[in-house]
């Protein structure tokens, strides 16, 4: 899969999500389904969106004992999603089990990426609560390397980290980056942002864009602008 724009469909119900996707009569965007929508609408929403011809990033961030993750990933793989994720903090053993669970009898599987440290975790929380004393960017890079060694396809990271991740883990190791805003747009609650063009320059493989598209007056035009700036 090449570079692409993934729309974060952060809606509370299946109805709202499908009404939003109805607007896209031409090219079918790659969409991200997160915990809110999945827990509200269940696996059926994944099947429905897939049946409409969209690629799907199922952002459920699994983190449990290896056996549970292996079995859960097998269920997600059966939903025929394209990209799923987990927490690298679950250890290499858990990540390898996830890959086993995802792999279908014919050898194919969805891409699997890891969350390293959530961007909501800061150095203070890392030290005081998680008792990890290393600088947070070292922790992020080390978790990315663990994911690579375990056989994963990439990580979710800030666009500001994408270059470093590629330098450490190789150009083919995927970087999927949220925190994207148009140069003339609202930042919302995102603090460290990049434009689609900047994300392209620093080598992000996929950008995850929510509100700049979902809340736009014309979401289809905003999506197309995003694709033009990011993919070219």
Active site residues: 61
Instruction: Work out how close the CB of 203 gets to ligand C5P at its nearest, in angstroms, rounded to a whole number.
Output: 18
Work out how close the CB of 133 gets to ligand C5P at its nearest, in angstroms, rounded to a whole number. 22
Q: Mask 11-30, x = binds ligand C5P (CB under 6 A)?
A: --------------------
Cβ of residue 187: shortest distance to ligand C5P, in angstroms? 9
Stretch that binds ligand C5P, among 102-110, 141-149, 164-172, 204-212 (CB under 6 A): 204-212
- Interacting residue with ligand C5P among 11, 17, 30, 34 (CB under 6 A): 34
Among 116, 119, 175, 195, binds ligand C5P (CB under 6 A): 119
Residue of this chain nearest to ligand C5P (CB atom):
210
CB burial string 11-39: b at 16+ within 10 A, e below = beebebbbebbeebeeeebbbbbbeebbe
Q: What are 125's two structure tokens? A: 């929380």
Q: Does 211 bind ligand C5P (CB under 6 A)?
A: yes
User: Is residue 190 a contact residue for ligand C5P (CB under 6 A)?
Assistant: yes
Told to check if 113 binds ligand C5P by CB under 6 A, we report: no
């Amino acid at each position: 899969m090449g570079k692409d724009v993934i729309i974060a469909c952060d809606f509370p119900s299946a109805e709202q999500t499908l009404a939003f996707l109805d607007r896209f009569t031409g090219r079918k965007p790659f969409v991200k389904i997160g915990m809110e929508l999945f827990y509200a609408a269940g696996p059926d929403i994944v099947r429905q969106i897939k049946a409409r011809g969209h690629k799907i990033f199922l952002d459920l961030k699994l983190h449990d004992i290896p056996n549970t993750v292996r079995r859960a990933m097998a269920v997600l793989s059966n939903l025929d999603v394209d990209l799923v994720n987990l927490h690298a903090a679950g250890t290499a053993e858990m990540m390898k089990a996830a890959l086993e669970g995802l792999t279908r009898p014919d050898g194919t599987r969805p891409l699997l990426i890891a969350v390293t440290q959530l961007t909501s975790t800061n150095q203070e929380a890392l030290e005081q609560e998680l008792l990890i004393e290393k600088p947070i960017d070292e922790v992020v890079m080390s978790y990315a390397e663990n994911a690579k060694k375990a056989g994963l396809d990439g990580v979710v990271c800030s666009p500001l980290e994408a270059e470093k991740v590629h330098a450490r883990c190789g150009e083919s190791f995927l970087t999927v980056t949220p925190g994207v805003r148009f140069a003339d747009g609202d930042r919302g609650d995102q603090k460290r942002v990049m434009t689609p063009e900047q994300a392209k320059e620093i080598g992000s493989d996929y950008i995850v864009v929510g509100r700049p598209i979902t809340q736009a007056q014309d979401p289809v035009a905003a999506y197309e602008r995003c694709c033009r700036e990011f993919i070219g």
